[in-house]
């Protein structure tokens, strides 16, 4: 589960071969004791929760890096290491 970005105390991870539990392309965002799976295409929370402010930051970051995230998703579900992505 490589870390692909970190900003404002939020850690963004993308798990290898992670297309079984949630079929939609997504990232895992961790902040303090919170964790959420967030869709790449629309920023919707699939599971878990984040504080509102941190969720908005994650959604803004997804919007800025959607193409890179989709490329990383293709790598990760194939079992390959995704690339790091610039923080906010």
Residue 22 has pLDDT above 70, yes or no: no
Global confidence as pTM? 0.93
In a domain, 85, yes or no: no
Distance of CA 68 to the CA centre of its chain: 11
Give the model's confidence band at 65: pLDDT under 50 very low, under 70 low, under 90 confident, else very high. Answer: very high
Range of the domain at 64: 3-77
In a domain, 53, yes or no: yes
In a domain, 82, yes or no: no
Residue 21 is predicted with a pLDDT of 67
The values of phi and psi at residue 25, to 5°, are -60, 130
In a domain, 13, yes or no: yes
In a domain, 36, yes or no: yes
Calculate mean pLDDT across residues 30-51: 98
Give the model's confidence band at 76: pLDDT under 50 very low, under 70 low, under 90 confident, else very high. Answer: very high
Which candidate, 24, 20, 23, 1, places its Cα nearest to that of 12? 1
Residue 20 is predicted with a pLDDT of 66
72: how many CB neighbours lie within 10 A of its CB?
A: 24
Number of separate domains in the chain: 1
In a domain, 55, yes or no: yes
In a domain, 64, yes or no: yes
């Amino acid at each position: 589960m490589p870390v692909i970005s970190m900003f404002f105390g939020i850690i963004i991870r993308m798990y290898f071969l992670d297309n079984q539990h949630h079929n939609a392309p997504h990232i895992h965002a961790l902040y303090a004791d919170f964790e959420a799976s967030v869709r790449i295409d629309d920023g919707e929370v699939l599971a878990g929760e984040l504080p509102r402010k941190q969720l908005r930051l994650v959604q803004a970051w997804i919007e800025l890096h959607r193409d890179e995230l989709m490329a990383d998703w293709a790598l990760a579900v194939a079992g390959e290491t995704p690339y790091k992505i610039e923080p906010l």
